[in-house]
């Protein structure tokens, strides 16, 4: 699955700080999420690429799946900092 989001930067603002890109691989290696964020002219482009070769997880795998999604959630909570000109 591929998802792209484009956020327009308000006029009179510039990007001061954006999160770093990340490649997250599940402990079993079956799921991968690539996260990339970049500036493109007057916008911020956020891209996610998810791939998983597994659709069913056993109860004893729950903690690993939970840890994978918690890391991704923490990445989503990182801030984009804009500065007014």
CATH number of 2-84: 2.60.120.1130
CA 84 vs. chain centroid, Å, equals 25
> What pLDDT is stored for residue 55 in this prediction?
84
- The answer to whether residues 34 and 16 touch, using CB atoms and an 8 Å cutoff, is no
Measured distance CA(53)–CA(37) in Å, rounded: 25
Beta bridge partners of 36: 47
The model's pTM is: 0.81
CB 65 within 8 A of CB 54: no
State which residues of the chain have pLDDT below 50: none
- Per the CB < 8 A criterion, the answer to whether 49 and 5 are in contact is no
The full set of domain ranges for the chain reads: 2-84
């Amino acid at each position: 699955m591929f998802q792209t989001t484009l956020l327009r930067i308000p006029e009179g603002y510039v990007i001061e700080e954006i999160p770093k890109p990340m490649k997250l691989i599940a402990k079993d290696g079956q799921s991968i999420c690539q996260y990339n964020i970049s500036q493109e002219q007057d916008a911020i482009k956020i891209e996610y690429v998810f791939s998983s070769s597994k659709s069913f997880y056993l109860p004893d795998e729950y903690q690993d799946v939970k840890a994978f999604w918690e890391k991704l959630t923490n990445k989503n909570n990182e801030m984009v900092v804009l500065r007014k000109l």
